[in-house]
Structure 1
Amino acid sequence: MNGLRTAAAVFLLAGLGACAQTPPIATVTDPYAGSRYTGTLPGGTLPGASAEDFRRIAGDTVWFPENDAALDGRARETLVRQAGWLKQNGSFSTVIEGHADEQGTREYNLALGARRASAVQEYLVSQGVDRGRIRTSSYGKERPFEICSDPACQAQNRRTVTVVTPGAGV
Protein backbone atom coordinates (compact mmCIF):
# COMPACT_ATOMS: atom_id res chain seq x y z
CA MET A 1 0.00 0.00 0.00
CA ASN A 2 2.88 2.33 0.85
CA GLY A 3 4.46 1.69 -2.59
CA LEU A 4 1.15 2.52 -4.27
CA ARG A 5 0.99 5.89 -2.46
CA THR A 6 4.57 6.66 -3.46
CA ALA A 7 3.87 5.80 -7.10
CA ALA A 8 0.71 7.94 -7.07
CA ALA A 9 2.61 10.87 -5.53
CA VAL A 10 5.39 10.63 -8.15
CA PHE A 11 2.81 10.48 -10.94
CA LEU A 12 0.94 13.51 -9.53
CA LEU A 13 4.11 15.58 -9.12
CA ALA A 14 5.28 14.71 -12.63
CA GLY A 15 1.91 15.79 -14.02
CA LEU A 16 2.01 19.08 -12.11
CA GLY A 17 5.55 19.76 -13.35
CA ALA A 18 4.45 19.27 -16.95
CA CYS A 19 1.52 21.64 -16.48
CA ALA A 20 3.71 24.33 -15.00
CA GLN A 21 5.88 24.40 -18.13
CA THR A 22 3.00 24.70 -20.62
CA PRO A 23 2.69 28.29 -21.88
CA PRO A 24 -0.75 29.86 -21.50
CA ILE A 25 -3.14 29.87 -24.45
CA ALA A 26 -4.55 33.18 -25.62
CA THR A 27 -7.95 33.06 -27.30
CA VAL A 28 -9.27 36.42 -28.42
CA THR A 29 -11.78 37.63 -30.97
CA ASP A 30 -10.28 39.00 -34.16
CA PRO A 31 -12.97 41.22 -35.74
CA TYR A 32 -10.90 41.77 -38.89
CA ALA A 33 -10.39 38.11 -39.68
CA GLY A 34 -13.88 37.05 -38.63
CA SER A 35 -12.43 34.32 -36.46
CA ARG A 36 -10.64 33.66 -33.21
CA TYR A 37 -6.87 33.65 -32.78
CA THR A 38 -5.61 30.87 -30.56
CA GLY A 39 -1.94 30.56 -29.80
CA THR A 40 0.65 30.36 -27.10
CA LEU A 41 2.10 33.44 -25.49
CA PRO A 42 5.91 33.46 -25.79
CA GLY A 43 7.67 33.46 -22.48
CA GLY A 44 4.79 31.94 -20.54
CA THR A 45 2.78 34.31 -18.41
CA LEU A 46 2.92 38.01 -19.12
CA PRO A 47 4.99 39.44 -16.27
CA GLY A 48 4.82 43.08 -17.36
CA ALA A 49 6.96 45.68 -15.64
CA SER A 50 9.07 47.30 -18.32
CA ALA A 51 9.22 48.37 -21.94
CA GLU A 52 11.80 45.64 -22.51
CA ASP A 53 9.28 43.02 -21.28
CA PHE A 54 6.78 44.41 -23.79
CA ARG A 55 9.27 44.18 -26.68
CA ARG A 56 10.39 40.68 -25.69
CA ILE A 57 6.97 39.20 -24.97
CA ALA A 58 4.57 41.00 -27.29
CA GLY A 59 6.83 42.48 -29.95
CA ASP A 60 6.75 46.20 -30.64
CA THR A 61 6.84 46.28 -34.46
CA VAL A 62 4.17 45.62 -37.08
CA TRP A 63 5.15 45.58 -40.78
CA PHE A 64 2.97 46.67 -43.69
CA PRO A 65 2.78 46.11 -47.45
CA GLU A 66 4.07 48.84 -49.76
CA ASN A 67 1.74 51.88 -49.95
CA ASP A 68 -0.79 50.21 -47.64
CA ALA A 69 -2.05 50.30 -44.06
CA ALA A 70 -3.73 46.86 -44.10
CA LEU A 71 -3.09 44.47 -41.21
CA ASP A 72 -2.18 40.97 -42.37
CA GLY A 73 -2.29 37.81 -40.24
CA ARG A 74 1.23 38.27 -38.88
CA ALA A 75 0.42 41.85 -37.87
CA ARG A 76 -2.78 40.78 -36.10
CA GLU A 77 -0.92 38.04 -34.20
CA THR A 78 1.55 40.65 -32.92
CA LEU A 79 -1.28 43.01 -32.00
CA VAL A 80 -3.14 40.26 -30.11
CA ARG A 81 0.00 39.80 -27.98
CA GLN A 82 0.37 43.57 -27.54
CA ALA A 83 -3.26 43.91 -26.46
CA GLY A 84 -2.91 41.06 -23.97
CA TRP A 85 0.20 42.63 -22.45
CA LEU A 86 -1.38 46.09 -22.29
CA LYS A 87 -4.58 44.78 -20.69
CA GLN A 88 -2.56 42.91 -18.07
CA ASN A 89 -0.31 45.93 -17.45
CA GLY A 90 -2.79 48.77 -17.10
CA SER A 91 -0.22 51.17 -15.68
CA PHE A 92 1.40 51.66 -19.11
CA SER A 93 0.38 54.04 -21.87
CA THR A 94 1.44 53.77 -25.50
CA VAL A 95 2.46 55.84 -28.48
CA ILE A 96 2.13 54.12 -31.84
CA GLU A 97 4.69 55.52 -34.26
CA GLY A 98 3.83 55.19 -37.96
CA HIS A 99 6.68 54.94 -40.51
CA ALA A 100 7.05 54.64 -44.28
CA ASP A 101 9.82 53.85 -46.74
CA GLU A 102 11.71 56.56 -48.64
CA GLN A 103 9.55 56.40 -51.76
CA GLY A 104 7.00 59.17 -52.30
CA THR A 105 6.75 62.72 -51.02
CA ARG A 106 7.17 63.76 -47.43
CA GLU A 107 3.45 64.61 -47.18
CA TYR A 108 2.35 61.28 -48.67
CA ASN A 109 4.56 59.32 -46.28
CA LEU A 110 3.40 61.30 -43.23
CA ALA A 111 -0.21 60.52 -44.18
CA LEU A 112 0.62 56.84 -44.79
CA GLY A 113 2.42 56.59 -41.43
CA ALA A 114 -0.63 58.15 -39.76
CA ARG A 115 -2.98 55.63 -41.42
CA ARG A 116 -0.76 52.75 -40.28
CA ALA A 117 -0.64 54.04 -36.70
CA SER A 118 -4.41 54.53 -36.73
CA ALA A 119 -4.99 50.96 -38.00
CA VAL A 120 -2.89 49.60 -35.12
CA GLN A 121 -4.68 51.83 -32.60
CA GLU A 122 -8.12 50.71 -33.80
CA TYR A 123 -7.12 47.06 -33.64
CA LEU A 124 -5.79 47.40 -30.08
CA VAL A 125 -9.02 49.18 -29.05
CA SER A 126 -11.06 46.39 -30.66
CA GLN A 127 -9.12 43.96 -28.45
CA GLY A 128 -10.15 45.80 -25.27
CA VAL A 129 -7.31 48.29 -24.71
CA ASP A 130 -8.67 51.63 -23.46
CA ARG A 131 -8.41 54.27 -26.20
CA GLY A 132 -7.28 56.84 -23.62
CA ARG A 133 -4.03 54.90 -23.13
CA ILE A 134 -3.06 55.08 -26.82
CA ARG A 135 -1.69 58.02 -28.81
CA THR A 136 -0.47 57.96 -32.40
CA SER A 137 2.32 59.77 -34.19
CA SER A 138 3.61 59.67 -37.76
CA TYR A 139 7.20 60.11 -38.82
CA GLY A 140 6.66 59.16 -42.45
CA LYS A 141 10.09 58.53 -43.94
CA GLU A 142 11.93 60.76 -41.43
CA ARG A 143 13.09 57.98 -39.08
CA PRO A 144 14.05 54.99 -41.23
CA PHE A 145 15.11 51.72 -39.68
CA GLU A 146 17.48 51.28 -42.63
CA ILE A 147 18.65 53.73 -45.29
CA CYS A 148 18.73 51.76 -48.51
CA SER A 149 17.33 51.46 -52.03
CA ASP A 150 16.93 47.68 -52.22
CA PRO A 151 13.20 46.72 -52.10
CA ALA A 152 13.75 43.98 -49.49
CA CYS A 153 15.60 46.45 -47.29
CA GLN A 154 13.00 49.19 -47.78
CA ALA A 155 10.32 46.82 -46.46
CA GLN A 156 11.88 47.22 -42.99
CA ASN A 157 10.81 50.88 -43.00
CA ARG A 158 7.12 50.11 -43.66
CA ARG A 159 6.14 49.67 -40.06
CA THR A 160 4.62 50.89 -36.84
CA VAL A 161 6.44 50.75 -33.53
CA THR A 162 4.42 50.62 -30.30
CA VAL A 163 6.33 52.41 -27.54
CA VAL A 164 5.11 51.77 -23.98
CA THR A 165 5.80 54.01 -20.99
CA PRO A 166 4.74 53.81 -17.35
CA GLY A 167 1.68 55.93 -16.62
CA ALA A 168 -1.80 55.13 -17.86
CA GLY A 169 -3.61 57.61 -20.06
CA VAL A 170 -2.45 60.76 -21.77
Structure 2
Amino acid sequence: MNAKRIFGLMLVLLMLVALGAGCAKKTADSMPAGATKVEISDKDTDWQQPAPAPESRALTDDEIRAQQREQAQRELGNMIFFAFDSSELFPESRDVLTSKAETLKKYPLFNIVIEGHCDERGTSEYNLALGERRAKAASEFLNQLGIGSERMTIVSYGKERPMVDGHNEAAWSKNRRDEFKIQN
Protein backbone atom coordinates (compact mmCIF):
# COMPACT_ATOMS: atom_id res chain seq x y z
CA MET A 1 0.00 0.00 0.00
CA ASN A 2 2.87 2.35 0.60
CA ALA A 3 4.14 1.65 -2.89
CA LYS A 4 0.73 2.47 -4.33
CA ARG A 5 0.60 5.70 -2.39
CA ILE A 6 4.11 6.73 -3.49
CA PHE A 7 3.29 5.79 -7.07
CA GLY A 8 0.09 7.96 -6.93
CA LEU A 9 1.95 10.93 -5.50
CA MET A 10 4.63 10.63 -8.17
CA LEU A 11 1.94 10.43 -10.86
CA VAL A 12 0.25 13.60 -9.55
CA LEU A 13 3.62 15.35 -9.34
CA LEU A 14 4.49 14.40 -12.92
CA MET A 15 1.13 15.69 -14.15
CA LEU A 16 1.69 19.02 -12.41
CA VAL A 17 5.17 19.33 -13.93
CA ALA A 18 3.79 18.42 -17.37
CA LEU A 19 1.02 21.03 -17.12
CA GLY A 20 3.43 23.74 -16.02
CA ALA A 21 5.94 23.06 -18.79
CA GLY A 22 3.38 22.34 -21.53
CA CYS A 23 3.22 25.85 -23.07
CA ALA A 24 6.33 27.93 -23.03
CA LYS A 25 5.68 31.65 -22.72
CA LYS A 26 6.90 33.89 -25.55
CA THR A 27 9.75 36.12 -24.53
CA ALA A 28 10.64 39.61 -25.64
CA ASP A 29 13.32 38.06 -27.86
CA SER A 30 10.66 36.30 -29.93
CA MET A 31 8.48 39.44 -30.29
CA PRO A 32 8.33 40.81 -33.86
CA ALA A 33 9.91 44.23 -34.32
CA GLY A 34 7.42 47.03 -33.67
CA ALA A 35 4.84 44.65 -32.17
CA THR A 36 3.05 45.23 -28.90
CA LYS A 37 1.92 42.69 -26.32
CA VAL A 38 -1.83 42.07 -26.18
CA GLU A 39 -3.54 40.11 -23.39
CA ILE A 40 -5.96 37.56 -24.82
CA SER A 41 -6.86 35.88 -21.55
CA ASP A 42 -5.41 35.49 -18.08
CA LYS A 43 -2.95 32.89 -19.31
CA ASP A 44 -2.24 33.65 -22.96
CA THR A 45 -0.60 36.55 -24.73
CA ASP A 46 -0.30 37.37 -28.39
CA TRP A 47 1.71 39.84 -30.44
CA GLN A 48 -0.02 42.48 -32.48
CA GLN A 49 1.60 44.37 -35.34
CA PRO A 50 1.16 48.17 -35.17
CA ALA A 51 -1.31 49.76 -37.56
CA PRO A 52 0.43 51.20 -40.58
CA ALA A 53 1.07 54.93 -40.26
CA PRO A 54 -1.17 57.06 -42.46
CA GLU A 55 0.61 58.24 -45.52
CA SER A 56 1.72 61.80 -45.06
CA ARG A 57 2.45 64.09 -47.92
CA ALA A 58 4.12 67.41 -48.14
CA LEU A 59 1.88 70.43 -48.55
CA THR A 60 1.98 72.17 -51.90
CA ASP A 61 2.99 75.82 -52.15
CA ASP A 62 -0.65 76.73 -52.82
CA GLU A 63 -1.80 74.88 -49.68
CA ILE A 64 0.86 76.56 -47.56
CA ARG A 65 -0.11 79.96 -48.95
CA ALA A 66 -3.81 79.25 -48.27
CA GLN A 67 -3.02 78.34 -44.65
CA GLN A 68 -0.93 81.48 -44.22
CA ARG A 69 -3.70 83.55 -45.78
CA GLU A 70 -6.26 82.17 -43.31
CA GLN A 71 -3.94 82.82 -40.37
CA ALA A 72 -3.17 86.34 -41.54
CA GLN A 73 -6.88 87.10 -42.01
CA ARG A 74 -7.62 85.85 -38.48
CA GLU A 75 -4.90 88.11 -37.10
CA LEU A 76 -6.09 91.09 -39.17
CA GLY A 77 -9.77 90.50 -38.39
CA ASN A 78 -10.10 92.99 -35.51
CA MET A 79 -11.98 96.11 -36.53
CA ILE A 80 -11.30 99.60 -35.27
CA PHE A 81 -14.05 102.01 -34.33
CA PHE A 82 -14.56 105.78 -34.52
CA ALA A 83 -16.44 108.52 -32.73
CA PHE A 84 -19.41 110.22 -34.37
CA ASP A 85 -18.45 112.36 -37.38
CA SER A 86 -14.74 111.65 -36.83
CA SER A 87 -11.84 109.90 -38.52
CA GLU A 88 -9.50 110.37 -35.55
CA LEU A 89 -7.94 107.16 -34.23
CA PHE A 90 -8.63 106.20 -30.60
CA PRO A 91 -5.61 105.00 -28.55
CA GLU A 92 -7.17 101.49 -28.59
CA SER A 93 -7.34 101.69 -32.39
CA ARG A 94 -3.66 102.60 -32.55
CA ASP A 95 -2.86 99.48 -30.47
CA VAL A 96 -4.92 97.30 -32.82
CA LEU A 97 -3.23 98.85 -35.85
CA THR A 98 0.21 98.27 -34.31
CA SER A 99 -0.68 94.58 -33.99
CA LYS A 100 -1.88 94.57 -37.61
CA ALA A 101 1.42 96.08 -38.74
CA GLU A 102 3.30 93.21 -37.04
CA THR A 103 1.05 90.70 -38.82
CA LEU A 104 1.63 92.39 -42.18
CA LYS A 105 5.38 92.31 -41.59
CA LYS A 106 5.14 88.61 -40.77
CA TYR A 107 3.22 87.92 -44.01
CA PRO A 108 4.86 90.18 -46.62
CA LEU A 109 3.20 88.42 -49.57
CA PHE A 110 -0.26 89.64 -48.61
CA ASN A 111 -1.83 93.02 -49.28
CA ILE A 112 -4.89 94.37 -47.53
CA VAL A 113 -8.04 96.29 -48.25
CA ILE A 114 -9.09 98.76 -45.57
CA GLU A 115 -12.85 99.33 -45.67
CA GLY A 116 -14.23 102.53 -44.14
CA HIS A 117 -17.82 102.42 -42.80
CA CYS A 118 -20.22 104.92 -41.23
CA ASP A 119 -23.50 104.87 -39.36
CA GLU A 120 -26.79 105.68 -41.07
CA ARG A 121 -26.87 109.37 -40.16
CA GLY A 122 -25.87 111.89 -42.83
CA THR A 123 -26.18 111.84 -46.59
CA SER A 124 -24.73 109.04 -48.71
CA GLU A 125 -22.18 111.42 -50.23
CA TYR A 126 -21.05 112.73 -46.84
CA ASN A 127 -20.73 109.22 -45.40
CA LEU A 128 -18.76 107.95 -48.41
CA ALA A 129 -16.26 110.78 -47.87
CA LEU A 130 -16.12 110.14 -44.10
CA GLY A 131 -15.60 106.39 -44.66
CA GLU A 132 -12.72 107.21 -47.00
CA ARG A 133 -11.13 109.50 -44.40
CA ARG A 134 -11.43 106.73 -41.80
CA ALA A 135 -9.80 104.14 -44.07
CA LYS A 136 -7.09 106.67 -45.00
CA ALA A 137 -6.36 107.38 -41.31
CA ALA A 138 -5.71 103.67 -40.69
CA SER A 139 -3.63 103.40 -43.86
CA GLU A 140 -1.47 106.39 -42.92
CA PHE A 141 -0.89 105.03 -39.42
CA LEU A 142 0.14 101.62 -40.82
CA ASN A 143 2.43 103.42 -43.25
CA GLN A 144 4.13 105.21 -40.33
CA LEU A 145 4.71 101.75 -38.80
CA GLY A 146 6.57 100.57 -41.91
CA ILE A 147 3.84 99.07 -44.07
CA GLY A 148 4.23 100.28 -47.65
CA SER A 149 1.29 102.15 -49.13
CA GLU A 150 1.48 99.85 -52.18
CA ARG A 151 0.33 97.00 -49.91
CA MET A 152 -2.87 98.81 -48.89
CA THR A 153 -6.01 99.69 -50.80
CA ILE A 154 -8.69 101.82 -49.22
CA VAL A 155 -12.38 101.73 -50.02
CA SER A 156 -15.37 103.47 -48.48
CA TYR A 157 -18.79 101.93 -48.16
CA GLY A 158 -20.23 104.86 -46.26
CA LYS A 159 -23.47 103.80 -44.63
CA GLU A 160 -24.27 101.12 -47.24
CA ARG A 161 -23.03 98.08 -45.27
CA PRO A 162 -24.08 98.38 -41.65
CA MET A 163 -22.79 95.69 -39.33
CA VAL A 164 -25.72 96.18 -36.95
CA ASP A 165 -29.24 97.24 -37.85
CA GLY A 166 -30.72 99.77 -35.51
CA HIS A 167 -31.49 103.42 -35.03
CA ASN A 168 -29.72 104.09 -31.74
CA GLU A 169 -26.22 104.79 -30.43
CA ALA A 170 -25.56 101.10 -29.64
CA ALA A 171 -26.00 100.21 -33.32
CA TRP A 172 -24.41 103.37 -34.69
CA SER A 173 -21.22 102.93 -32.61
CA LYS A 174 -20.65 99.48 -34.13
CA ASN A 175 -21.22 100.75 -37.67
CA ARG A 176 -18.57 103.51 -37.42
CA ARG A 177 -15.64 101.25 -38.19
CA ASP A 178 -12.77 100.15 -40.43
CA GLU A 179 -12.51 96.51 -41.50
CA PHE A 180 -9.34 94.84 -42.78
CA LYS A 181 -9.31 92.06 -45.36
CA ILE A 182 -6.63 90.24 -47.28
CA GLN A 183 -6.74 91.40 -50.87
CA ASN A 184 -7.47 88.79 -53.55
User: Please, what TM-score do these two structures have when normalized by structure 2?
Assistant: 0.61
CA distance in 1, matches of 2:140, 2:113: 13
Q: Quick one: which of 155, 158, 181 aligns to 1:137?
A: 155
Question: Secondary structure in 2 aligned to 1:92?
Answer: coil
**Aligned position for 2:51:** none
**Aligned position for 1:49:** 68
Gapped runs of 5+ residues in structure 1? 1-47
CA distance in 2, matches of 1:148, 1:94: 29
Shift of 1:127: 0.4
CA distance in 1, matches of 2:119, 2:173: 7
Identity of aligned residues (%): 38
Gapped runs of 5+ residues in structure 2? 1-66
**Aligned position for 1:20:** none
Moved over 4 A (4+): none
Q: Does 1:150 align with 2:168?
A: yes
Question: Secondary structure in 1 aligned to 2:183?
Answer: strand
Q: Does 1:116 align with 2:134?
A: yes
Q: Could you say which structure has the higher strand fraction?
A: 1
Q: What is the correspondence of 1:76-95 to structure 2 with a 5 Å cutoff? A: 76-95=94-113
User: Please, what TM-score do these two structures have when normalized by structure 1?
Assistant: 0.66
CA distance in 2, matches of 1:131, 1:147: 33
Q: What is the correspondence of 1:64-75 to structure 2 with a 5 Å cutoff? A: 64-75=82-93
**Aligned position for 1:159:** 177
| Greater gyration radius | 2
| CA offset digits 1:101-151 (Å, max 9, x no partner) | 000000110000000000000000000001101010000000110111121
CA distance in 1, matches of 2:93, 2:115: 15
Count of equivalent residues: 118
**Aligned position for 1:13:** none
